[in-house]
């Protein structure tokens, strides 16, 4: 049995798994991502986790490679991390060559949102579709685009940055340097910001009695009919609909997969999203595009990374033969 190691490196946690060609996770572990000043400290933790997975995986078969999904802009061909806002010690790090040298197996690198899109396309909600858009609503908004069955990276490797589509030209400033990005209106962080901005208009809201709350708390309030929470999710869905309408008009996808922790508010924001899509997008592609929830959860990045590794192995073996 051929097995690959798949890593999903997040700003908080590092997940490592041993995965076979059928997408079955044979072994997995999760450790805290070190708040390190040097990239080598993170590599040390990754190598330790990879070796543990490798020992367990070799009970089932041969480990052929490792692939990592990172929250960063990456150069896939060079295996290099260009910019990692949540793990800044990795900026400019030649990730693949260092990890391959430590583990003595090929190493491949991918952006985490692209990996999630590939995972959902290979094993999840986008399986069987040639064209798909993946949108992750989490702390920020990530995305990946599948065209003719392949991930769209672009010449600079930055394609699919759905969270930085401008949906409000004079809107909230974004960490990317622009203003009014979708990330500032349809993420978990955005839910909290909009709640604070609007709370003075809703003096009867249950959320006003709390010094601290999470986006999940806002969702629970919305389910109970709280007017402030409902308005926040209306805005979230409104702006998400504007962003998706543009994608539908430009890309004509068969399916749009919505994942990430903030997608838990689906029943509160999705009616407003679909309203905007049918108002703004061309009728035929709007009717074609299915809006579905992601199926793989936290495993999307892991399984996407594994799929990338197997595709690279297949390509290398075909080139040799």
What's residue 237's pLDDT? 98
The rounded distance, in Å, linking the Cα atoms of 247 and 229 is 27
| b/e code 81-103 from CB counts within 10 Å (16+ = b) | bbebebbebbeebebbebbbebb
What's residue 85's pLDDT? 79
What's residue 10's pLDDT? 85
The rounded distance, in Å, linking the Cα atoms of 264 and 163 is 18
Task: Give the list of residues 6+ apart from residue 194 with CB closer than 8 angstroms, or none.
Answer: 185, 232, 235, 236
Containing 75, the helix (H) or strand (E) segment is strand 73-75
What's residue 72's pLDDT? 87
Task: Give the list of residues 6+ apart from residue 312 with CB closer than 8 angstroms, or none.
Answer: 65, 67, 106, 108
Q: Which residues of the chain have pLDDT under 70?
A: 321
Task: Give the list of residues 6+ apart from residue 140 with CB closer than 8 angstroms, or none.
Answer: 163, 183, 187, 189
Q: What is the pLDDT of residues 281-315, one digit of tens each?
A: 999 999 999 999 999 998 999 999 999 999 999 88
Cβ–Cβ < 8 Å for 253, 290: no
Nearest to 111 by CA among 163, 65, 149: 163
What's residue 320's pLDDT? 74
DSSP string, 42-61: HHHHHHHHHHHHHHHHTTTS
What's residue 206's pLDDT? 95
Structure tokens at 226: 């709280």
Q: What is the pLDDT of residues 4-54, one digit of tens each?
A: 999 999 888 899 999 999 999 999 999 999 888 899 999 999 999 999 999
């Amino acid at each position: 049995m051929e097995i690959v190691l798949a890593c999903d490196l997040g700003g908080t946690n590092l997940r490592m798994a041993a995965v076979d060609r059928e997408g079955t996770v044979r072994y997995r572990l999760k450790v805290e991502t070190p708040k390190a000043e040097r990239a080598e400290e993170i590599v040390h933790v990754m190598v330790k986790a990879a070796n543990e997975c490798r020992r367990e995986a070799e009970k089932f078969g041969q480990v052929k490679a490792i692939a990592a999904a990172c929250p960063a802009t990456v150069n896939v061909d060079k295996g290099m991390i260009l910019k990692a806002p949540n793990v800044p010690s990795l900026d400019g790090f030649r990730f693949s060559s260092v990890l391959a040298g430590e583990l003595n197996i090929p190493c491949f690198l991918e952006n985490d949102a692209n990996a999630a899109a590939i995972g959902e396309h290979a094993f999840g909600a986008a399986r069987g579709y040639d064209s798909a858009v993946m949108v992750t609503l989490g702390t920020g908004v990530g995305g990946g685009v599948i065209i003719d069955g392949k991930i769209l990276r672009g010449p600079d490797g930055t394609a699919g940055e759905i969270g930085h589509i401008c949906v409000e030209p004079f809107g909230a400033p974004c960490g990317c340097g622009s203003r009014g990005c979708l990330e500032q209106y349809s993420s978990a962080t955005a839910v909290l910001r909009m709640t604070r901005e609007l709370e003075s208009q809703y003096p009867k809201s249950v959320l006003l009695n709390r010094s601290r709350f999470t986006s999940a708390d806002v969702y629970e309030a919305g389910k109970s009919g709280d007017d402030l929470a409902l308005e926040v999710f209306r805005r979230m869905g409104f702006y998400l609909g504007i962003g998706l309408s543009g994608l539908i008009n430009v890309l004509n996808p068969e399916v749009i997969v919505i994942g990430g922790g903030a997608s838990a508010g689906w029943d509160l924001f999705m009616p407003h999203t679909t309203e905007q899509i049918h108002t703004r997008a061309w009728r035929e592609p709007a009717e074609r595009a299915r809006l579905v929830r992601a199926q793989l959860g936290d495993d999307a990045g892991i399984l996407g990374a594994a799929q990338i590794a197997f595709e690279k192995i297949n390509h290398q073996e075909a080139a040799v033969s």
